[in-house]
Amino acid sequence: MLVAERGASTNTIAAYGRDLDHFATFLDSRGVEVDAADGQSIRDYLAELARRGLSARTGARRLSAIRQFHRFLLTEGRRTDDPCAAIDSPRQGRPLPKLLSEQEVEGLLAAAHAKDGPEGMRLAALLELLYATGLRVSELVGLPAAALGRDPRFLIVRGKGDKERMVPLGEEAHRALLAYRRVRDRFLGKRARRGAERWLFPSRAEAGHLTRQRFGRMLKELALEAGIPEGVLNVVVGKGSVAGQRLIEHPDVAKIGFTGSTEVGQQVMRGAAGTIKRVTLELGGKSANVVFADADLERAAAAAPYAVFDNAGQDCCAAPPILVDRPAYDRFAELLV
């Protein structure tokens, strides 16, 4: 079943075999045949794994093997029920957020200050403000130009609940902000949104100011330059169907959204069944818009927002993904925001 329907690798098949052997040994100690196990036997087995100190991830993987085995028995008519149907997978705890050390933060700030030109000054101001004030990213990028009041030692911030507060500025943040203000008008070019001048960090984005998504990309690139390992945001590379299948089968992926034919849906469901995760079919206007390296990037960036609502011949409020050829990515992202 694993080979014929799921196209599982040799390593996956071997791992499932080991997990089933372990389960069979547990049942044998209780005088139960592996193909005659009931739901209570499976729960007792999972409880035994937990008692031995094995992780929830290991329990989930072994339960996945047991599910596949009993699904096979049911399909082949060797059982009339599935004892795993009412058993929940062991709950896996979420990993704690990764924190930067003081040395890594200093490296990040140094990398920002080392960048030349207006872009470097803006990035340094953003980082210094973020570090000095503890603002939320959405508050930071959405600061109005009026946030700099008469007293240069303080910043006026309007946060959740439309509540206003004064945030003290350190000396480094103040200097970085003054340096950026001298070049701020460079970001108010001809293609800036109407009203962008009211923001401290204006841009061509629809909101008129730098977006948190764009700032996130800038921060990630800076972190790599500063030698900080990649963490939450990663780029998946590889042949499309192969990379997609790996994501579908990965135990850390909790939900799959897809669009495609019935055949594609069946393939996704088979892959997701091994680790028991939710699957949803995305309906309408979700075909990706593709930007190649030899495209007119300025026209592509201008047209991309309209493609959200007029994709594949449909008027639709579901935003399709935009796939950008790697050599054109940085320039396209700059034009888009």
Looking at residue 120, what is its pLDDT?
Answer: 93
pLDDT tens-place string over residues 104-155: 888 889 999 999 899 999 999 999 998 888 788 888 888 998 887 777 778 8
Q: Are strands 255-258 and 164-168 parallel, antiparallel or unpaired?
A: unpaired
- Of the three residues 39, 68, 97, the one that is the final residue of a domain is 97
Same domain (yes/no): 274, 326: yes
Of the listed ranges 28-42, 209-223, 262-276, the one predicted with least confidence: 262-276
Percent of the chain whose predicted confidence (pLDDT) is above 90: 11
Torsions phi, psi for 261 (to 5 deg): -75, 175
Please list, residue by residue across 321-333, b when 16 or more beta carbons sit within 10 angstroms of its beta carbon and e when fewer do. ebebeeebeeebb
Which of these, 175, 197, 193, lies nearest to 337 by C-alpha position? 193
Across 117-121, 163-167, 183-187, 245-249, the highest mean pLDDT is recorded for: 117-121
Give the domain CATH number at 106. 1.10.443.10
Across 50-54, 191-195, 236-240, 246-250, the highest mean pLDDT is recorded for: 50-54
Residue 254 has pLDDT above 80, yes or no: no
Question: Is the model more confident about 190 or about 70?
Answer: 70
Same domain (yes/no): 88, 107: no
Same domain (yes/no): 68, 140: no
Across 151-155, 218-222, 232-236, 254-258, the highest mean pLDDT is recorded for: 218-222
CA 73 to chain centre: 37
Same domain (yes/no): 268, 315: yes
Using CA atoms, how far apart are residues 110 and 70, in angstroms rounded to an integer?
A: 57
Same domain (yes/no): 123, 212: yes
Residue 6 has pLDDT above 70, yes or no: no
Of the listed ranges 167-181, 190-204, 234-248, the one predicted with least confidence: 234-248
Residue 73 lies in a domain: yes
Same domain (yes/no): 32, 78: yes
- Of the three residues 196, 225, 254, the one that is the final residue of a domain is 225
Average pLDDT over residues 22-39: 90
- Cα angle 302, 305, 306 (rounded to 5 degrees) comes to 90
Residue 258 lies in a domain: yes
- Cα angle 33, 34, 35 (rounded to 5 degrees) comes to 95
3-class DSSP string for 207-229: CCECCHHHHHHHHHHHHHHCCCC
Residue 223 has pLDDT above 70, yes or no: yes
CA 29 to chain centre: 44
Question: Is the model more confident about 238 or about 288?
Answer: 288
Contacts of 39 (CB under 8 A, 6+ apart): 83, 84, 86, 87
Classify 142 as helix, strand or coil.
coil
Residue 231 lies in a domain: no
Residue 248 lies in a domain: yes
In terms of pTM, does the model score above 0.85?
no
Q: Which domain holds residue 257?
A: 240-336
**Eight-class DSSP state of 202:** B
- Of the three residues 197, 225, 253, the one that is the final residue of a domain is 225
Average pLDDT over residues 2-20: 67
Residue 235 lies in a domain: no
Residue 23 has pLDDT above 50, yes or no: yes
Looking at residue 310, what is its pLDDT?
Answer: 43
Same domain (yes/no): 259, 320: yes
Number of domains in the chain: 3
Contacts of 192 (CB under 8 A, 6+ apart): 202, 203, 204, 208
Residue 232 lies in a domain: no
Same domain (yes/no): 151, 260: no
Using CA atoms, how far apart are residues 147 and 321, in angstroms rounded to an integer?
A: 34
Using CA atoms, how far apart are residues 124 and 174, in angstroms rounded to an integer?
A: 11
Same domain (yes/no): 137, 204: yes
Same domain (yes/no): 91, 108: no
Q: DSSP letters of 72-85?
A: HHHHTTS-SS-TTT
Residue 264 lies in a domain: yes
Specify whether the CB–CB gap between 263 and 251 falls below 8 A: no
Looking at residue 325, what is its pLDDT?
Answer: 77
